Structure 1
Amino acid sequence: MPSISRRGVLAGLTAAATTGLAGCLGDDGAFPDGDWPMPGRTPQNASALPETTLPNAVTEAWAAPVGSYWQSAPVVYDGDVAVATGSELATFDADSGDERMTRPLDAEVCANPAYDAATETLVVPTYDHGTDGDGGSVSAHDAASGEERWSLDAGDARPYSVRIADGVAYVRTSTACLAVATGDGAVRWRRDDFEPVAYEQYNAGEDLSASVAPTVAGDTVYVTDANRVRALAREDGRERWRLSAPFVLSAPAFDDDRLYVSEYAGDTAAFDADGEEVWRAPVSGVAAPSAGPETVYAVDGEIVALDAETGEERWRWDLRASTVDATPVATADGVLAVGNRSAALRDRRRFGGSGSRVRWSLPDQVSYFVSPAVGAGHLFVLDPFRSRLVAYESA
């Protein structure tokens, strides 16, 4: 079993390799200047900044109007932040909030987009509720101009979220999993034996499946299916193994040879890379868990900190929301969580000391259906009541 120090070192090396962040930040913290090119930050979907400490305080840097209907989280790349809302793709300068471009889409955005640095492409899932029947598609757009480069017809299937690794977009739809080259849209492989992630007995429809994306780690793609998670070979999509995950509604998170899965109306559990259970905790979660250096954070109406090695509960904090679909962001000394109240929470057990669990709170009502993003020196969240994208900076 890996030691705590080994887990922390590996997490730091992963962060440095994938985003080019500088070394460990001081106790006063700052939001890092790196990218957040997809929800979960990396293809492993850990939603973690293991070299970043929480700022002592934040202030609003800017806010920009966005469409009034969206299900997608912001992504950050090359000093820009992109948001897909309604039937529109928009990008903004991350420092000033000045609009870079706005591009109409052929259908309504239905899940989270992702950015590929190798081809400077944004991949966006859309779904058309047309009079001639529903139709899904995944399209790729030039990240600077928004011009469409290619589009892939998903038929009647609803596309879920996208993760990108090494020039390949891994896409989960309601009936399939695909590997698609981001450069030209060529399908590398496709499996059509998946079921919709929706559970009528819990009134959990596919509108909650916008955070269901393949998780890519090493030579394996971990994909949420109805009541299970399946491990596929990254090269050709053949199935290696599957594990039971009742009523799972989100993507798994991978960190340090561990796969973390949160079940809706069930548990949060850790598995090794071969699908063998390591621990199980009686904490349900609608959103994907986040995996910090030593702590896994599961979230539903509360955020619960679990020891990454044992699954033991460390602490919990009430988000004052019945259901939270947004994955929190784990840091070196705590976590950023959104709900009916949103805050930076310190993991006091790790770093000692006393005082409030809350380092600071956000003054605005933040969407708890889409995950926050951290990059380009800012924290980005969506304000649903005023239809705006908000950027915060450390104060």
Structure 2
Amino acid sequence: MSERIDLTADSPGEGTDGADEDIDGDGDSRDAGSRDVASRDASDRFVTRRQVLSVLGSAIAAGVAGCGGRSGSDGFDGSRPPETWPSAAKDAHNSRYAPDGSPPDRRKIAWRAPIDSVDRFPPIVTETGVFVLSRDTFRGFDRDGTERWSLSLGDDEFVGGAPTAIPGWDRIALGNGAGRLRLIDAETGRVAAERTYAEGIDAAVVAPARDRELYVTTERGRIHALGLGSDGLTTRWTHDAFGGVDHAPAVGERIVVGTTAGVECLDHGGYGRWRRDLSDPVVTRPTLAGDLVLVGTRGHVLHAFDVETGERLWHRTIIKNAHAGESIEGVAATPDSIYVTDSRAVHALTRHDGRRRWRHHDWERSFGPPVAVDGAVLVADGDGLSAFDPDGGPGFGSLRPDPVRWRFVPEGSPRGLAVVGDRTYLTVARADGDVLLELR
């Protein structure tokens, strides 16, 4: 287990730094000369046993890769085809950005399949299948809608983590509130490997394409990095975060974790690089967008940090004078823009400084997380699926009276959304039985 690292965090919280610069007069700011509150840990001063082992392991892995590539006796292939949706937020960066997605101007139902009582998670889409979690069953479908298998989860089983497809390995990871982690064979629905933890699994598991690791968070903020191999799961390291972890980390060159106390950044050996305390808990998955990491908090503020240094570069209040129950729902990041939804509005921000490009309010709808695709931003709400113009359409300043290009209104209430190429997958709650739709 990694030891708790004494990192300095001198920020009092959100919007209180004295050096903040107001960038558009509405009380939100770019953090000009923001203090670096995240000092490097003690590993900068001496080398530990685990760091030596980590370096040796990396060198051995690099040598193996040079001798034969990523595939091995376990059949693992580190590459990931672009037209997939392997995790709840699209990828290990939690970007909710599908640059290969190009939805047409009209939506037609290609097929539908019954899925019992739909859960809040979006469908998982691989090269060959679509996988949907309902409240008591996990189902696998062929891409034409034919059901492959169904796995009963039990009436009293609470699934704490969204299912995650492991790229190139034909396995889907699923965790539950009782601490049981399963690797499910995507072709047969059988449990290929499993592990049980003393604590329940709180947040979604993440399987990045860049290496053979699976990340799991359990109760009380413990993060587990697991190695994947032909002989099952092995623990590479564990780390105790400062605060609870309710959402899956973002994984890139660094591992970024949002907690009830703030934001932490780890290296791939499990050692802390920096930490930033916040006055409100993080309520979104951290999103990696180039050199930025984005997190939304219960205080309705979106923060942008430098992923290497932890310096806060800007912050934006998403909901002002929030009513009870309103919250930031999700973030989608493209190379140019950041799209954020709250319970009643869709916002578009510039990536480099958080300036508001446009926003659209609708007091009669309850928006879910956004999905950015080529030429549109898709958002499901309680009544339908809307495609927003990524530039907001005609208007003055940030006011865009009608940025919606089209709406698809199914029978029932849309829940989870995933986009792969020209196909959109939508789970819909209906009075006569919930369904999975493929739209084209």
TM-score category of the 2 structures, normalised to the smaller one: 0.7 to 0.9
Q: Higher strand proportion, which one?
A: 1
Distance 1:161 1:71 in 2: 12
Q: Which residue pairs with 1:186 in the alignment? A: 234
| Counterpart AA for 1:178 | H
After superposition, the Cα gap between the structure-2 partners of 1:20 and 1:153, relative to the gap in structure 1 and judged at 3 Å, is closer
What displacement does 1:109 show? 2.4
Q: Aligned to 2:283, what secondary structure does the other structure show?
A: coil
**RMSD value, Cα:** 2.6
Q: Which residue pairs with 2:256 in the alignment? A: 222
After superposition, what is the alpha-carbon deviation per residue over 1:345-377, rounded to whole angstroms, capped at 9, x for unaligned?
00236999x995212112124444x4x111264
Q: Does the 8 Å CA contact 2:200/2:218 hold for their aligned counterparts?
A: yes
| Counterpart AA for 2:342 | D
| Counterpart AA for 1:345 | F
What displacement does 1:323 show? 6.0
After superposition, what is the alpha-carbon deviation per residue over 1:269-297, rounded to whole angstroms, capped at 9, x for unaligned?
21111211111111155333110121101
Q: Does 1:58 align with 2:100?
A: no
Q: Does 1:113 align with 2:163?
A: yes
Q: Aligned to 2:108, what secondary structure does the other structure show?
A: strand
After superposition, the Cα gap between the structure-2 partners of 1:346 and 1:54, relative to the gap in structure 1 and judged at 3 Å, is farther
Mapping of 1:289-300 within 5 angstroms?
Answer: 289-300=331-342
Q: Which residue pairs with 1:31 in the alignment? A: none
Q: 1:238 aligns with which of 271, 275, 279?
A: 271
Identity of aligned residues (%): 24
Distance 2:386 2:371 in 1: 11
After superposition, what is the alpha-carbon deviation per residue over 1:233-287, rounded to whole angstroms, capped at 9, x for unaligned?
11x2111111234221121111211111111223112111121111111115533
Distance 1:87 1:306 in 2: 38
Distance 2:373 2:79 in 1: 16
Q: Which residue pairs with 1:139 in the alignment? A: 182
After superposition, the Cα gap between the structure-2 partners of 1:195 and 1:349, relative to the gap in structure 1 and judged at 3 Å, is closer
After superposition, the Cα gap between the structure-2 partners of 1:232 and 1:162, relative to the gap in structure 1 and judged at 3 Å, is same
Q: Aligned to 1:138, what secondary structure does the other structure show?
A: strand
Q: Which residue pairs with 2:281 in the alignment? A: 247
| Counterpart AA for 1:169 | L
Q: Does the 8 Å CA contact 2:348/2:356 hold for their aligned counterparts?
A: yes
Mapping of 1:158-307 within 5 angstroms?
Answer: 158-165=201-208, 166-175=211-220, 176-183=222-229, 184-197=232-245, 209=246, 212-218=247-253, 220-234=254-268, 236-245=269-278, 246-273=280-307, 274-284=309-319, 285-301=327-343, 302-307=345-350
Q: Which residue pairs with 1:202 in the alignment? A: none
Q: Which residue pairs with 2:125 in the alignment? A: 76
Distance 1:376 1:173 in 2: 34
Number of corresponding residues: 339
Q: Which residue pairs with 1:346 in the alignment? A: 389
Distance 1:331 1:194 in 2: 35
Q: Which residue pairs with 2:25 in the alignment? A: none
Distance 1:121 1:356 in 2: 43
Q: 1:328 aligns with which of 370, 374, 378?
A: 370
TM-score (norm 2): 0.71
Q: Aligned to 1:287, what secondary structure does the other structure show?
A: strand
Q: Does the 8 Å CA contact 2:173/2:182 hold for their aligned counterparts?
A: yes
Distance 1:84 1:317 in 2: 31
After superposition, the Cα gap between the structure-2 partners of 1:271 and 1:381, relative to the gap in structure 1 and judged at 3 Å, is same
| Counterpart AA for 2:190 | E
Distance 1:125 1:41 in 2: 18
The answer for unaligned runs of 5 or more in structure 2 is 1-77, 320-326
Q: 1:154 aligns with which of 187, 193, 197?
A: 197
Q: Which residue pairs with 1:30 in the alignment? A: none
Distance 1:67 1:122 in 2: 20
Distance 2:108 2:116 in 1: 23
Distance 2:414 2:195 in 1: 29
Q: Which residue pairs with 1:24 in the alignment? A: none
Compare CA radii of gyration and give the structure with the larger one. 2
The answer for unaligned runs of 5 or more in structure 1 is 1-16, 22-33, 128-134, 198-208
TM-score (norm 1): 0.78
What displacement does 1:52 show? 4.1
Q: Does the 8 Å CA contact 2:301/2:317 hold for their aligned counterparts?
A: yes
Q: 2:145 aligns with which of 94, 97, 102?
A: 97
Q: Does the 8 Å CA contact 2:98/2:420 hold for their aligned counterparts?
A: no
Q: Does the 8 Å CA contact 2:387/2:405 hold for their aligned counterparts?
A: yes
Q: Does the 8 Å CA contact 2:92/2:250 hold for their aligned counterparts?
A: yes
Q: Does the 8 Å CA contact 1:174/1:194 hold for their aligned counterparts?
A: no
